[in-house]
Structure 1
Amino acid sequence: MIQFPYDTNLRYLPLVYLLPSDLIERCPTLCALPRCLSEIAASDEMMDMITGNAFLKEIMDAAASLAFPHFGFGSWKEHYTGYSPVWRLSYALPIWAKLIEEKTGWGLQALFRMRPSTQIPFADPERIRELFDKVVKRAIEEQGWQPILDVVREMPCDEDFEPWQTNVRIDFQRKWYHTRSKNVQTVSLEELMESDEDGSIFYIPDATQNVEAYVIAKDFAERFLATLSEKDRQIVQLRQDGYTYAEVADKLGYKNHSGVIKRIEVIKKQFKEYKGRE
């Protein structure tokens, strides 16, 4: 048996050769790897590439895109964000590598036992989809993920696990806890403007708790929104109302949700500049 350092990226090399051709073409680093193990072993450049972060990121993204559809949540992985528990579970790369090897016998040992100069053909896309369907279902059972998935399905909005508040999220929380707490905030523009570095940029208090502070903060928000274009104001309002990036894009005529995300980043920057001038 060939010995190898199992805690390196090398253990994910067999997964590369399971990727359908249309998927691997979207991964520049993985696409550059020869489909012959002896060619990789003879090249320091290729070995360095495998140990690099680009290799790890691309194989993680590729494997996640194959695993995600089998959790039963519909849509594409890209329609969700890293805050979604299902999105994160789809990135369980060590589990996919382990279960695939147990299911098919295809792992590093099988790869190293191939005859020198063997060219590895591309796998049949349908067979790979069926394989990931089986390993995802097995992972859900063995890892005890079903309760997590059940809770996520109860959430009415794709992005309810993100750090900002939305009206849809607040309604869900009220139903979940069987209460209409007066402490729940119902104005959430500041959460839309939230950033990892700066935290909450401003806070609009609950009017039932502090009327004066509420009026001041709400006036500030309205003055800032008045400086935005009509389309940017619509983006803010739709996001406050709980619409997903994809839904906002569809309503406002963007080609995809990426355009909406870019506009939100611009709005965040404008907000910080506006606040600095006040």
Structure 2
Amino acid sequence: MEHSAPDLFRQQFNTHYPSVRRKLVALIRDEAAAEDLAQETFLRLYRNPPDQPEAIGGWLHRVLTRLAYDYMDKKARERALTQKQEQSILAQPQAVQSNEQQLIDKDEQERVRGWLDTLPERDKKMLLLRYEGYSYAEIAEQLQLRQPQVGTMLRRAGARLKRHAQKAEGALTHE
């Protein structure tokens, strides 16, 4: 009695599926992905069986190995891409700010600028230069001061700015 192709496939599936799945789990260490790849292996067997039925075991092993390595390569590429994206985000955290955060930051910058405008011009310049990263020596040179004076003058300018900010914030809370 001759077996039909679906019956032969079902027999091969029942015979080889447990070992195919076990090998895939051992290779990729992910049960769900191993299930998917085992199904893909047998789908390929169904669509394009080997010419020699006695070679099915070896054929399945080659296909499952290729599928597993392709899967692992894909996962490695995905991990590398994710790491690259994370590094990019960490390098430029302002690039991923929400619109709401951008509006808050802009509002805060405008308030600080307003407070700075209430200070004497020299204090304003001094604080802005320091904020931009200038050293005490560079600030002294820019404003034609002696370097030992810069630290004291920056503290005083900062204190004046703080007082203006507190006064402005106090006026806002009393409205």
Q: TM-score, normalised by structure 1?
A: 0.25
Compare relative contact order (CA 8 Å, sep 6+) and give the higher one, 1 or 2.
1
Larger Rg: 2
Q: TM-score, normalised by structure 2?
A: 0.37
Comparing both structures, which one devotes a greater share of its residues to helix? 2
